[in-house]
Amino acid sequence: MSEQSPPSAVPAENTARGDTGRRIAARRTELGLSRQAAADRAGMVSGYLKYLEEQATATPSPGTLMRLAGALETTVKSLCGANADLPPGVGRAASHPILVVMSDDECRQRLASHGIGRLAHDDEDGPVVVPVNYTVVDGTVILRTAPGTTPAAAVGKRVAFEVDRIDDALSQGWSVLVRGRAEAVTDPVTVRRLAGLAHSEPWVGGLRELWVRIGVAVLSGRRIKVR
């Protein structure tokens, strides 16, 4: 099969995206690249890239994956999910890295990109940190959980909330730290508004009807820049 064009016919039952296709599309979106721009970078037509992203049966060659990894500033392992069970940051440090203190505006911009962050607080056994889905609304961090869970135990306490992004391919990354007080949101009108603004359902599933707001009392951030 040519790497410059998709096959002329694809069975209807094979229209679900495969894991590699989802990772390619997600990385392209993360970089803010259109499909055409990414295809141009990789030296292929956009139709073939569309096929790779959308067809579960697509099997790109090692050469194609290498070109895509270069175009998307990542690694073949990342596109194939080979490091999915590994923690981020297993690669070597880049040459001549610089730790840059981010401005308040940059911290807020990166915090508002949404996704998964880490909530830290003290419970009866000591400090605890858990990952949670979150959304930024009106400059505050909003998360959704259930009574009796570790995140719910943060209500009424001063907490820390951290979000970051690690790029193993380039050995770069950033992190933003929020410190403030967590409080439960109980007003029905506000809850309905938050439900309409939330970017995603909690990945852990189940009934999550407790909304928690973290006010931003202290905000700081750092990023690694490579010369």
SS3 sequence, 116-181? EEEEEEEECCEEEEEEEEEEEECCEEEEEECCCCCCHHHCCCEEEEEEEEEECCCCEEEEEEEEEE
User: Which structural domain, as residue segments, surrounds residue 181?
Assistant: 97-226
Residues 6+ apart with CB under 8 A from 36: 46
Compute the distance between CA of residue 23 and CA of residue 29 in angstroms, rounded to an integer: 10
Residue 7 within a domain? no
Residue 86 lies in a domain: no
- Decide if 217 is inside a domain: yes
Residue 1 lies in a domain: no
pLDDT in tens, the chain (227 residues): 444 544 443 333 333 456 889 889 988 988 889 999 999 999 999 999 999 999 888 889 989 999 999 999 888 888 887 766 656 656 666 677 888 999 999 999 999 987 899 999 998 889 999 999 999 999 999 999 999 999 999 999 999 999 998 876 667 889 999 999 999 999 999 999 998 888 777 878 878 889 999 999 999 999 988 77
Same domain, 44 and 101: no
**Final residue belonging to a domain, choices 26, 50, 80:** 80
* Predicted local distance difference test score (pLDDT) of residue 89: 59
pLDDT for the residue 9 = 37
Looking at the structure, do residues 165 and 192 belong to the same domain, yes or no?
Answer: yes
CATH number at residue 47: 1.10.260.40
Are 220 and 163 part of one and the same domain? Answer: yes
182/138 same-domain check: yes
pTM of the full structure:
0.65
- The answer to whether residues 122 and 212 belong to one domain is yes
The answer to whether residues 62 and 156 belong to one domain is no
219 falls within a domain: yes
Secondary structure class of 99 (helix, strand, coil): strand
In a domain, 204, yes or no: yes
Tell me: do 222 and 110 sit in the same domain: yes
Alpha-carbon span 18 to 22, nearest angstrom: 6
For residue 181, CA distances in Å to 88, 120, 147 come to 28, 11, 18
Select from 224, 123, 111, 130 the least CA-distant residue to 177: 111
> Could you say which DSSP state residue 74 is in?
S
Element (H, E) at 191: helix 188-197
Domains held by the chain: number: 2
- Is 65 found in the same domain as 113? no
**Which of 47, 80, 113 is where one domain is finished?**
80
Which residues are within 8 A (CB) of 90 and not within 5 positions of it... i.e. 6 or more apart?
83, 168
CB 18 within 8 A of CB 25: no
In-domain check, residue 138: yes
Domain co-membership, 24 together with 125: no
Q: How far apart are CA 139 and CA 57, in angstroms?
A: 43
Q: How far apart are CA 200 and CA 215, in angstroms?
A: 20
Q: Does 89 fall in a domain?
A: no
